[in-house]
Amino acid sequence: MAFDIDMIKSVYARMAERVDKARELTGKPLTLSEKILYSHLWDGIPTKEFKRGKDYVDFAPDRVACQDATAQMALLQFMHAGKPKVAVPTTVHCDHLIQAKVGAEADLKRANQTSNEVFDFLESVSNKYGIGFWKPGAGIIHQVVLENYAFPGGMMIGTDSHTVNAGGLGMVAIGVGGADAVDVMAGMAWELKFPKLIGVKLTGKLSGWTAPKDVILKVADILTVKGGTGAIIEYFGEGATSMSCTGKGTICNMGAEVGATTSTFGYDESMDRYLRGTDRADVADEAKKVAAYLTADPEVYREPEKYFDQVIEIDLSTLEPHLNGPFTPDLATPISKMGEAAKKNDWPLNVEVGLIGSCTNSSYEDISRAASLAKQVSDKKLKTKSKFTITPGSEMVRYTIERDGFIKTFNDIGATVFANACGPCIGMWDRYGDKAANGPRNTIVHSFNRNFAKRADGNPNTLAFVGSPELVTAIAISGRLDFNPITDTLINEEGQEVKLDEPRGYELPPEGFAVEDAGYIAPKEDGSSVEVKVASDSERLQLLAPFTPITNESLKGMKLLIKAFGKCTTDHISMAGPWLRYRGHLDNISNNTLIGAVNAFNKKTNFVKNQLTGEYGGVPDTQRAYKAKGIKTIVVGDHNYGEGSSREHAAMQPRHLGVAAVLVKSFARIHETNLKKQGMLALTFANENDYDKIQEDDTFNFVDIDKFAPDVPLTIEVVHADGSKDLIKVNHSYNAQQIAWFREGSALNMIKKENAA
Ligand code: F3S
C-alpha cells in the first residue's frame, strides 16, 4: 500500500559498502543488528567502531509510523517545522481510540462519533504533509506495518512501544516518543545509544500445542521485564528459520515486555513467503539479491558467545505452552504446572473471558489455528464455557478470515468480534461501565502482550494471563485456567469424555489474502492547499503557537514552583489515565502538570506555596498565577528526574505554563533532551548538597546566562526570604546546537528558521 520500493532499493544499494566498512573497522564478523545499525548512520559510511551500551549515535531511519493517541502532539509540533512534506515515508494509524463494547460495527460507529474531530485532524494533517493515513477500522498499527511497510534490513521508528513487531520481517524497528518522530519527519538525525546485543539461539522445531508466543513467554521468564533493557535481541538457529514470519513478529512484539530496544530475525524463506503473500514480490526480489547482508555473518551464529553480550538457548522441541501472569508478563508458568501454581497463589480457576487477537497475535496463522479448535466445539458436542472475543489486527486479515469461514466458526461458539483496533489491549474495553474500579476478582486469559493491573478492563481485581491464541481458545472452551489440552479431557454435552485435537492452521491463506477496502487513504501529491481541521472551541485539540525564546532578562527574579522530593517520573510530571484524552490539547493537558510530584517542604502532592500570595494551591494553578504576572519559574528535583517514558508532554507542559528551568541532581536522559528541544534550561547541581539549600520562598537570578556556552557551568544566585544569598554552580550538557535551540525558543523554531533561510 504505497510502500516505497525506490527507498528500499536505495537502502539495499548502500548496504554492502557500509557493512563492509563496519566489518573492517570493528575487525570482526557482524551480527544482523550491527549490519542494520551501521548501514543507517546519519553520517553515511562508518568511520569508527561504536561501543555498545556507551556511544550515542545519530541514525537515519527509513520510515516513521504513528498511532492516533501519540500522533496528535507529534503532528501538531511537526506543523511548526515549516516543511511542506515529511522528510521520510510516514504513516498514521487510527487504532487506539476505538472502544470495544458491543461488536465491530457498532463500536466503530461510536468511535467515529466520539473521536471524529481527532480523526479528522489526523487525516487532514496527513493529507497536507504527505503522510499515509489509515482510517479507524483499518487495523492496528503494527499489523498494518508488517503487512505493508516492514522490509528486511530496514530501520524504522514508531510512536508506540510495540513498533518492535516489525522485527519479524527482519527490521530494526524501535518505539520512540513523539519528539523523536518529529525530528525524523522534519529531516533531522535520530539519536540512540548504540545497543548491546543479546543472541537467542532457537534449536529444534515448534509442534503440537506450542506456538511462537511460548518462545517469548519463555524469554520473558529468563530475562524478566528488565533483562533486555538497552539491548537488541537477535534470534537465530534452525528454530528461527522453521517459524513463520508472523510468528517471528509475535516474538519481536513482546520483546517490549522484557525492556529490549528491539528484537529482530535474519532474512529467510518465511520472510520471502510473507512478502510475496502480502503482494510485495518486488521487495522479496530485491531482498534476495542482498540476502547475505540481511542476516549475520556465518561465524556469528557458529560461535555466538564471541559476538553477543549475552546468549540464551531455547529448544523448541521441548518447549511447553506457557501462561504468563497475572499482573506481570514475566511470571511464566508452563501449562502443566498451572493447577499447582493457581492453588498455591489462590488464583481464581474459573476463566471468565478468553480474548484473542491484538497487534501481537492476529495473523492468519494465529486465527486459523484458533479456529481449528473452535470448530471442534460443535464437532465434539462441547459448549464453550468462557466468553470469547476476537480483535483482528487488520481489515485484510479480518476480510480474509471471514471469507475463509473462520469468523462464522467463532460466531458459532458465541464469540464477539471487536473492531480491528487495540480495544481491550489498551483498556478500551467497556466491560464494567463505570464500575470498573471496584470490579470483582476474576480471571481472564488473552493473547495480548501486557497484563498489568487494570490494563484490559480498568478493574484492579482482574487477573490477566497471557498465552498463545490457541491455548487461550482451548482454555476458553474449557473455562478453566488449569486446563492442559495436551493431557486433559473435557466432558461433552452427551456426557462423553473428549479430548481436543492439536491446533492446525495455515501460515498464509491458501487462496491468498483479500480485502475490499483496506482503509488506506493516500495523501495528496501537493497538499499545500489542504486546510488542517481544528475547531477553535475543541477540548481535545489545540493548534500550537511557537514558543517564544526565554530571555536572559526573564531569568532574573524567578520563583520556585516546586522542589520535588524523591522519584519524579514523566507520569508524575504529566499523568496518563483520563488525561490521555487531552494529549492533543496542550493547554488542557497542562492542568495535570507536576500534580503527581511530591513537594519536598510538606511531602504532599499538588500542594505548593504561591510566593505572591503566601497561599497554598495546586501546581498548575500556582504556575498559571506566576505566568499571569510574567514571572518565570524553576522546578527543582532529585535524582533521575523525568525517568519513565519519552512523553514530550512532560517537557512541553511546564514550558507552556512558563517554567524556564529545571534544576535537578540528575536527569533521565530522554527527558533532559526533551527539555532542551522545547527551549528550556535543563541543569544539574554541580554540588548535589546544594539541593538542600533551596527553600520554599527562594528567588533565583541567573547571573551569567549571557555567557551560556558548551562545557561552561552556569551560576545561580539564590535569594532566601531573610535576604541571605547562596551562589550555586550548575552544570549542563548543552552543545552549541542545543544552545541555539534555547536561544530560538525551541528546536522546531530553529528548524523553521533554517528552512526559511
Ligand atoms: Fe494496540 Fe495493544 Fe498493540 S494497545 S498497538 S494492540 S500492544
**Secondary structure of 153-202 as H, E, C letters:** CCEEEECCHHHHHHHHHCCEEEECCHHHHHHHHCCCCEEEECCEEEEEEE
Atom of ligand 1 nearest to the CA of 360: 3
CA of 537 to the centre of ligand 1 (A): 31
Contact between residue 562 and residue 594 where contact means Cβ atoms under 8 Å apart:
yes
CB atoms within 10 A of CB 322: 28
CA of 146 to the centre of ligand 1 (A): 14
Which triple of cell numbers denotes residue 36?
Answer: 542494520
| Rg of the Cα atoms in the chain | 27
Phi, psi of 481 (to 5 degrees): -65, -30
CA of 95 to the centre of ligand 1 (A): 8
Whether the CB of 422 sits within 6 Å of ligand 1: yes
| pLDDT value for 1 | 47
CATH code, residues 10-315: 3.30.499.10
Which triple of cell numbers denotes residue 254?
Answer: 513482546
Residue in 162, 389, 428, 466 to alter for ligand 1 test, most ligand atoms within 8 A of Cβ: 162
Question: What is the bridge-based pairing of β-strands 172-175 and 155-158?
Answer: parallel
Ligand 1: residue whose CA is nearest its atom 1: 422
| pLDDT value for 531 | 94
3-state secondary structure of 434: helix
Q: How confident is the model at residue 757 (pLDDT cuts 50, 70, 90)?
A: confident
CATH 3.20.19.10 in the chain, residues?
553-756
Distance CA 371, CA 407 (A): 8
Q: Which residue has the higher pLDDT, 523 or 670?
A: 523
Whether the CB of 319 sits within 6 Å of ligand 1: no
Contact between residue 575 and residue 595 where contact means Cβ atoms under 8 Å apart:
yes
CATH code, residues 553-756: 3.20.19.10
Encode burial over 473-495: b for 16+ CB neighbours within 10 A, e otherwise: bbbbbbbbbbbbbbebebeeeee
CB atoms within 10 A of CB 694: 20
Residue in 67, 95, 429 to alter for ligand 1 test, most ligand atoms within 8 A of Cβ: 95
Contact between residue 70 and residue 178 where contact means Cβ atoms under 8 Å apart:
yes
| pLDDT value for 2 | 53
Whether the CB of 449 sits within 6 Å of ligand 1: yes
Reading phi first (left if > 0) and then psi (alpha if -120 to 50, else beta), residue 632 is in beta
CA of 197 to the centre of ligand 1 (A): 25
Distance CA 717, CA 625 (A): 23
What fold is seen in the domain 322-498? Aconitase; domain 3 (3.30.499)
- 720: annotated active-site residue: no
* Residues 697-704, mean pLDDT to the nearest whole number: 98
Contact between residue 44 and residue 167 where contact means Cβ atoms under 8 Å apart:
no
Whether the CB of 140 sits within 6 Å of ligand 1: yes
Whether the CB of 146 sits within 6 Å of ligand 1: no
Could you check whether the bond before residue 326 is cis, i.e. omega within 30 degrees of 0? yes
Distance CA 416, CA 391 (A): 9
- SS3 letters for 508-555? CCCCCCCCCCCCEECCCCCCCCCCCCCCCCCCCECCCCCCCCCCCHHH
Residue given cell 535543563 in the structure block? 682
| pLDDT value for 80 | 87
Catalytic one of 450, 540, 583, 656:
450
How distant, in Å, are the alpha carbons of 166, 335, 347, 354, 569 from that of 488?
36, 11, 20, 18, 47
CA of 423 to the centre of ligand 1 (A): 8
Whether the CB of 446 sits within 6 Å of ligand 1: no
CA angle at 501 for the pair 495 and 504, rounded to the nearest 5°: 145
User: Considering the entire predicted model, what is its pTM?
Assistant: 0.92
Phi, psi of 14 (to 5 degrees): -95, -5
* Residues 255-265, mean pLDDT to the nearest whole number: 95
Whether the CB of 256 sits within 6 Å of ligand 1: no
Residue given cell 524469554 in the structure block? 219
CATH 3.30.499.10 in the chain, residues?
10-315, 322-498
- 378: annotated active-site residue: no
- 379: annotated active-site residue: no
Question: What is the bridge-based pairing of β-strands 558-563 and 699-702?
Answer: antiparallel
Contact between residue 359 and residue 140 where contact means Cβ atoms under 8 Å apart:
yes
Could you tell me what percent of the chain has a pLDDT over 90?
93
CA angle at 479 for the pair 476 and 482, rounded to the nearest 5°: 100
- 583: annotated active-site residue: no
- 571: annotated active-site residue: no
Distance CA 200, CA 216 (A): 10
pLDDT tens digits along 639-694: 999 987 778 999 999 999 999 999 999 998 889 999 999 999 999 999 999 999 99
Distance CA 659, CA 558 (A): 9
| pLDDT value for 725 | 98
CA angle at 667 for the pair 662 and 673, rounded to the nearest 5°: 80
pLDDT tens digits along 478-498: 999 999 999 999 999 999 999
pLDDT at 193 over 60: yes
* Residues 626-651, mean pLDDT to the nearest whole number: 93
* Residues 724-736, mean pLDDT to the nearest whole number: 97
CA of 449 to the centre of ligand 1 (A): 8
- 23: annotated active-site residue: no
Average per-residue pLDDT in the chain? 96
* Residues 704-724, mean pLDDT to the nearest whole number: 97
CA of 726 to the centre of ligand 1 (A): 50
Catalytic one of 160, 183, 268, 690:
160
Which triple of cell numbers denotes residue 511?
Answer: 487462496
Contact between residue 369 and residue 505 where contact means Cβ atoms under 8 Å apart:
yes
Which triple of cell numbers denotes residue 46?
Answer: 562508518
Distance CA 714, CA 423 (A): 49
Distance CA 1, CA 483 (A): 42
Distance CA 144, CA 249 (A): 12
Burial class of residue 83, CB neighbours in 10 A (0-12, 13-18, 19+):
middle
pLDDT tens digits along 118-152: 999 999 999 999 999 999 999 999 999 999 999 99
Distance CA 38, CA 59 (A): 9
Contact between residue 593 and residue 650 where contact means Cβ atoms under 8 Å apart:
no
Cα maximum dimension of the chain: 89
* 30 HSE (CA, 13 A, CB side): 26
| pLDDT value for 724 | 98
Phi, psi of 332 (to 5 degrees): -95, 135
- Which of 158-167, 371-380, 543-552, 573-582 has the lowest average pLDDT? 573-582
Residue given cell 467463532 in the structure block? 410
